[in-house]
Amino acid sequence: MRYSFPDDASMCRKREISRVVSLSMGNGLEYYNFVLYVFFAPFIGTTFFDLGPGSHTLLPALIAFGSGFLFRPLGAFVMGRMAAKRGEMPVLVLTFLLMGMASLGFVLLPGARRIGMLAPIMVFVFRAIQGFAEGGEIGPATQMLYATSTGRRQVANATMQYITQYVASLVAALVGTLVSVLFPEGALADWGWRLPFLIGSLVAVIGLRLRVGQAIRPQDRVGAAPVRMKNLSASNEGADVFSWTTAALILCVVSASALATYVRSFGVSYAMGQLHATAFTSLVAMTVGIAAGLAAMITGIALYHRVSRRLILLGTIIATELSVLPVYLICIRHPSLPTLLLLNSVTYWLSGITSAISIMTILRAIPAERRSLLFGMLYTMAVSVFGGLAQPVMEWSIDHTGWLLLPAFTTMLASPIGLVALLVLLGRSQEPPVSRVSDRCRGQGWEELVP
């Protein structure tokens, strides 16, 4: 059987863009909700965890959010197996439906003053559903983004999982800042914080419609092993074998990245709670930092085929060790909008510049036929441990020790370890030449091979 595509390049390009948008919206919605949760954690804690005089609210709210990470490996395993049997896109429709339902349920949930202990219990339930869906999302979505095109555009498409994290975080920061400015603190604490989450729930409806449209097309079932495209570059095939050493290296890279990411995302709570900055100053500084990270990510994509990847990784390690501690010291001694802008811009830039190298190296190290399951499992295991615990542990440690430099030294330890592991992984893989085929629509069809 042979699937034919129109020769109209513009139509094919629109189809590819539509596919990339639909595949990356789940990851974007996840980070949109995550950033909003961090921004409004004090208000969320008061709403759902204030069960009486003397109740702690912020730490339980962070623990509740972190609990969702525990269900990610289960989601990655169940949905990864399902994707291998039924194809990626039907699975991604299901995961997005679960995410949207859980997000809407969280928005509409009454507070503890109205339903008592049921409020925090339901927060944990909704976070469990979200975590399960987010875990099942990451493997199939990343595999499909990676396989959407070849050549130079493949780097951009594969990196869309990281790009959407930053774009969604930037949108969430802007929305959070706008809501903080428009509503007085009393209204914000009472109901205003729910509005940004409601917007995310409405976006989920749009994403679900896009995915349903993609799911009805048989050629989108990338997970169906017999289906391939003619003239795919070697970069799409992945490694021939997958060893425990490779798995350990990938786990190290993702763990270090997750820890550093969630330490950076702790920045608003850190600035407000430890440096006594205003909510507006903290949100603006975080917004600018996210924008700097997005610019660095785009720069990294542009440099991927032009500059030695090992040189970029080594330069980032050196820059991290030389710059992170000074910018934190400046912020602690002189907390203000300019110093917080400097801190966030430096830390987000250092993270974004290596994103393209990271995702491409990891995906090429995993055999194509098992990529959805293995990448999903390794990613979710690392994020579950280090992502889920980073913020509560950071909050508790600083409160009990008063050591304000803890985020700085955590970043200086985690980032170089992850980048060194990435260097080793890069050295173990043979980088294929860049394909001259820039996308699958250039006069080529899909050929289904029947054994």
pLDDT tens track for 285-340: 988 998 999 999 999 999 998 999 999 999 999 999 999 999 999 999 999 999 99
Q: Is residue 435 helix, strand or coil?
A: coil
Cα dist. 291→288, 295, 326, 330, 346 in Å?
A: 5, 6, 21, 21, 11
C-alpha span between 92 and 96 (Å, rounded)? 6
**What pTM was computed for the model?**
0.80
CATH of the domain at 273: 1.20.1250.20
What's the rounded Cα separation, in Å, for the pair 380 and 437? 32
**Of the given ranges (44-48, 205-209, 348-352, 408-412), which has the lowest mean pLDDT?**
205-209
**pLDDT over 90, % of the chain:** 38
Provide the 3-class DSSP secondary structure of residue 163: helix
Higher pLDDT, 149 or 368: 368
Q: Is residue 235 part of a domain?
A: no
Render pLDDT for 77-95 as a digit per residue (tens, 0 to 9): 999 999 888 888 889 889 9
DSSP letter string, 216-256: T-GGG-TTSTTEEETT--GGGT--S---HHHHHHHHHHHHH
Read off the pLDDT of residues 388-401 as tens digits, 9 standing for 90 and up. 677 778 888 898 89
Q: Which of left, alpha, beta for 222 (phi over 0: left; psi -120 to 50: alpha)?
A: alpha
Q: What is the CA radius of gyration of the chain?
A: 22
Supply the pLDDT for residue 150: 73
**Residue 399 confidence (pLDDT):** 85
Average of pLDDT values for 240-268? 86
Query: What does the pLDDT read at residue 225?
Result: 41
Residue 447 in any domain: the answer is no
Lowest mean pLDDT among 52-56, 103-107, 143-147, 182-186: 52-56
What mean pLDDT comes out for the span 139-143? 90
Residues spanned by the domain of 39: 15-222+242-431
**pLDDT classification of 451: cutoffs 50, 70, 90:** very low
230 lies in some domain: no
The pLDDT assigned to 60 comes to: 87
- The answer to whether residue 168 is domain-embedded is yes
Average pLDDT value over all residues in the chain: 82
Quote the crossing angle between the two packed helices 355-364 and 406-428, to the nearest 10°. Answer: 40
Mean pLDDT to the nearest integer, 246-253 = 94
With a cut of 90, say whether residue 419 has pLDDT above it. Answer: yes
At residue 8, the pLDDT reads: 58
* Tokens encoding 253: 């890279």
Q: Are strands 446-448 and 2-3 parallel, antiparallel or unpaired?
A: antiparallel
Q: What residues form DSSP beta bridges with 3?
A: 446
Residue 50 lies in a domain: yes
Of 17, 344, 403, the closest CA to residue 169 belongs to: 344
Residue 329: both structure tokens together: 């010291």
| Residue 145 within any structural domain of the chain | yes
Split into its structural domains, the chain has a count of 1
pLDDT category of residue 227 using cuts at 50, 70 and 90: very low
Residues comprising the chain, all counted: 451
> Rounded to the nearest 5°, which phi and psi values hold at 450?
-100, 120
